[in-house]
Amino acid sequence: MEMLRLTKEALSRPMDPSDPHGILPRVLAFYPPCRKLYGPKHLIWFGTKPRLMISSPELIREVLVVQAEHFDRYEAHPLICQFEGYGLTNLNGDAWARHRRILSPAFHTENLKPIVPFIADTVRRMCDELAASSGGGGEAEVEVAKWFGPLPQEVIMLATLGRRNYEAGRAVFELQEELGGLFDHAHTKVFVPGYRFLPLRSNVRVWCLVRKIRKGLAALIADLQVDDDEGGVMRDFMSFMAPAMTKNEMIEESKNLFFAGKETLSSLLTWATISLAMHPEWQDRARQEVLAIVGRHELPTKDHLPKLKTLAMIVNETLRLYPSVVATIRTAKRDLELDGCVVPAGTELIRGGARREVSLMHLSSIS
């Protein structure tokens, strides 16, 4: 209740303009007051689950690297999986390892590179529309987060479904957008066990959307046409999944890819733009670099990417200041000791990030 109250309170007011990078009090509102009261390593309760929060980079390394084999993926709540899909970000154990093996090659740089011209072309079209909306005056006001929305959507649809199934995927993506809105709303409320089964109007809409999304994806999979990796064409993610996963696994994994890619990319693009607005000198440096390496009238290609060093710095700094993923969770597979703490098997661990706490973890016992 207290965590929910702090979160609601933080979201009810704008960020402090004198501290534009201080996102932690907003995105993890409960953490700064807890840290102030109990220090960098402390125990909190998530409902019935005690969680130990740790913020030292050494400990995070211990968990994610040194003792990685003793930790498994987090088992997400069914409500979360209903929206995010039972895909890589929500699977654990053997199922995660199998899906990971199947999809890893899809994420190799060589496979993803052919998507660059598509991204460049989409951005050019968006900029042309923006220029047209300025009525020739050269100035237009846009809400950056909304304006960038369609870009990740188009890119992920193409990556997941390929060119031939791209249009049909759009409708599914839009349904998932609506489901995301309902899910966000539910997330700001106190969690009541069994609530999601009550036939309330919002729940009925959720069930309807979940059914429609499944149906849409099932139709796409039934009609799947696999793009071959020929002539520099990117192999879409579906074509990696098709030979090795069941229909249900492919549906869940596609939902998960739509979810995992959309908000992360939107958030990165939005914050990069806002950061550049705060630092016009970096805008100039980035512009000069693009003009020197790509040229005024050309579109960037995969060969330009490694040379755009200033842009890469801007992206990395944006991810450091405004990480798209503020928390990742692991569960201890066996009893172990961490920095003088006994961590029983079943303990959950969350690692998060934001400038002040470059890394942040929660450890929580579920026993």
Provide, rounded to whole angstroms, the least separation between the CB of residue 103 and ligand HEM: 7
The one-letter code for the residue type at 216 is G
Q: How far is the CB of 260 from ligand HEM (least distance, A)?
A: 4
Least separation, in Å, of the C-beta of 156 and ligand HEM?
5
Comparison of 63 and 257: residue with beta carbon closer to ligand HEM: 257
What is the C-alpha separation between 63 and 114, in angstroms, rounded?
Answer: 35
Find the binder of ligand HEM among 24, 250, 260, 343 (CB under 6 A).
260
Does 90 contact ligand HEM by CB under 6 A? no
Given the complex with ligand HEM, which of 4 and 151 has the nearer CB atom?
A: 151
Is 117 near ligand HEM (CB under 6 A)? no
How many other C-beta atoms lie within 10 A of the C-beta of residue 99? Answer: 21
Residue 294 lies near ligand HEM (rule: CB under 6 A): no
CA distance 255 to 209: 12
Whole-number Å distance between alpha carbons of 107 and 140: 36
What is the distance between the alpha carbons of residues 19 and 343, in angstroms, rounded to a whole number?
Answer: 36
Residue nearest to ligand HEM (CB): 261
- Complex with ligand HEM: residue 206 or 354, whichever CB lies closer: 354
Among 34, 53, 62, 89, binds ligand HEM (CB under 6 A): 89
For ligand HEM, the binding residue among 56, 122, 264, 273 (CB under 6 A) is 264
Rounded-to-integer distance, Cα 257 and Cα 277, Å? 30
Question: Residue 104 CB, nearest distance to ligand HEM (Å)?
Answer: 8
CA distances from 227 to 35, 103, 122, 236, 331 (A): 51, 15, 21, 7, 38
Interface with ligand HEM: number of residues (CB under 6 A): 15
Residue labelled with tokens 């807890």: 34
Q: Taking a C-beta distance cutoff of 8 angstroms, is the pair 61, 339 a contact? A: no
Is residue 23 involved in binding ligand HEM (CB under 6 A)? no
Considering only residues 136 to 165 of the shown chain, the ones binding ligand HEM according to CB under 6 A are 156, 159
Binding residues for ligand HEM restricted to 91-110, rule: CB under 6 A = 100
Residue with tokens 């793009």: 227
Please pick, from the candidates 7, 67, 273, 324, the single residue that binds ligand HEM as defined by CB under 6 A: 324
DSSP H/E element including 332: strand 327-332
Binding segment toward ligand HEM, per CB under 6 A, in 162-170, 175-183, 260-268, 306-314: 260-268
Judged by beta carbon, residue 82 or residue 254, the one nearer ligand HEM is: 254
272 binds ligand HEM (CB under 6 A): no
Long-range contacts of 299-304 (CB under 8 A, 24+ apart): 299/117, 299/120, 299/121, 299/124, 300/116, 300/120, 301/116, 301/117, 301/120, 302/113, 302/114, 302/116
Q: Which stretch binds ligand HEM (CB under 6 A): 54-62, 207-215, 255-263, 298-306?
A: 255-263
Nearer to ligand HEM, 117 or 207 (CB): 117
Mode of pairing for the β-strands spanning 49-54 and 357-364: antiparallel
Using a CB cutoff of 8 Å and minimum separation of 24, what contacts does 13-20 make? 20/278
Give me the least distance between CB of 198 and ligand HEM, in Å please.
31
Residues that bind ligand HEM (CB under 6 A): 88-89, 100, 156, 159, 257, 260-261, 264-265, 268, 319, 324-325, 328
